[in-house]
Structure 1
Amino acid sequence: MSQSSALKNIQWHETSISKKDRSRVNGHKSCVVWFTGLSGSGKSTLADGVHQKLFEMKSNSYILDGDNIRHGLNKDLGFSPEDRQENIRRIGEVSKLFVDNGTIVLTAFVSPYKADRDMARRLVDADEFIEIYVKCTLQECENRDPKGLYKKARAGEIPEFTGISAPYEEPENPELTISTDELSIENAVEEITDYLRKRLFSFYR
């Protein structure tokens, strides 16, 4: 039986507790906070810092980190354009479930292709996707090189590495642009947290 044929026999089951109900209990709206940028730009560091702030605010929040997800859910995927697309598709679908649960889900993925990020955005309501472009020059990312990946990529040990042998398509209209080669981590975290506080919490508090 083909996938399309199988889907004809599947129906969506509505639950008695809605996303609005869960958000009301949590005291904030739910959304996807999508951190995108080159490796070494600071996505995971910022996501973790913001997560700590949200935790202090007693929010229902969670981080989906690119490397962590590839240890489990996406461990079968490589880094070809097709695998990258599937990587983001899966994360988009998982993020959608978190949003339905009333959760603020923070995702930290290079996600180099605009079409893939747009696909993830379309999975949730228009006001439930916050794209944060973690902007940093390639030179600065290479200088940091926290995992030694740029050195390996320059040596030809890592094929299809974003920024070196594979493209990165900058966001055109992100909700926020954070330049980590200009801002301190502390100031960047505060700017993002303040944005989320105004956008997600004021409705309920």
Structure 2
Amino acid sequence: MGSKNITWHNGKISKKLRQEKYGHKSAVLWFTGLSGSGKSTLAVDVESRLFQKNIQTYHLDGDNVRFGLNKDLGFSKTDRIENIRRIGEVAKLFVDSGQILLASFISPYKIDRESVRNLFEEQEFIEIYVKCDLTECEKRDPKGLYKKARNGEIKGFTGIDDPYEVPENPELVVETDKMTLEECTKKIIRYLQEKHYIK
């Protein structure tokens, strides 16, 4: 239970002022999809393109945050929910700071993704479904996790013995088993331009 003896302090520099100074809107690009679908690879590439355009941007990766912020969490359903809740709050801080945050997390449950979306103002949360057939993800298996899950070494693995709930109305869908990395990146950048997040 949270403390009642706290007060929110507002600074002099608003989100709007930061956006005006940086010359672009702030938002979170939330990459969701199965392990091995290419979320992080795609997010890193998009981040690089945005950085080249002088956009204030940063990438949060699912594995990376478990080395620090969420190192006390496991992979039970309860811990996964808390993992996404914390990342949502961190993402909100980045958006408030005027940046475009790229967050690549499996985030398998619809209710958790909606909870994060509800933290933001309208059009600040851009859900990107990184769609890739399970068979292809297993072929790639960059971390060897599918093999371990199939062998029973990992329990509750998304896509094998734990569900992945496909987004119903994502802002964007990129099919990494049918599109090249370049095509996926261009689609996302084009979306940001057409919706006037960036010039």
What is the TM-score with the length of structure 2 in the denominator? 0.97
Q: Deviations over 1:19-49 (max 9, x none)?
A: 0000111110000100000000000000001
Q: How far off its partner does 1:191 sit?
A: 0.7
Q: Which of 118, 123, 139 is the matching residue for 2:119?
A: 123
Code of the residue aligned with 1:92 in structure 2: it is G
Q: How far off its partner does 1:126 sit?
A: 1.5
Over the aligned positions, Cα root-mean-square deviation in angstroms equals 0.8
Unaligned runs of 5+ in 1: none
Unaligned runs of 5+ in 2: none
Q: How far off its partner does 1:147 sit?
A: 0.8
Name the CA distance, whole Å, in 2 between partners of 1:122 and 1:143: 35
Residue matched to 2:37? 41
Residue 185, structure 1, aligned to residue 186, structure 2: no
Q: Deviations over 1:4-33 (max 9, x none)?
A: 5x22x2111111110000011111000010
Q: Which of 154, 157, 162 is the matching residue for 1:158?
A: 154
Q: Which of 12, 25, 46 is the matching residue for 2:8?
A: 12
Residue matched to 1:32? 28
Name the CA distance, whole Å, in 1 between partners of 2:92 and 2:73: 21
Residue matched to 1:64? 60
Name the CA distance, whole Å, in 2 between partners of 1:39 and 1:84: 14
Residue matched to 1:114? 110
Identity %: 61
Misfit runs of 4+, over 3 Å: none
Q: How far off its partner does 1:114 sit?
A: 0.3
Name the CA distance, whole Å, in 2 between partners of 1:122 and 1:35: 16
1:159-174 matches, within 5 Å, as: 159-174=155-170
| SS of corresponding position for 2:123 | helix
Name the CA distance, whole Å, in 1 between partners of 2:186 and 2:142: 23
Code of the residue aligned with 1:58 in structure 2: it is N
Residue 201, structure 1, aligned to residue 179, structure 2: no
Name the CA distance, whole Å, in 2 between partners of 1:108 and 1:11: 31
Q: Deviations over 1:91-139 (max 9, x none)?
A: 0000000000001000000000000000000111021000000000100
Across the two proteins, how many residue pairs are aligned to each other? Answer: 198
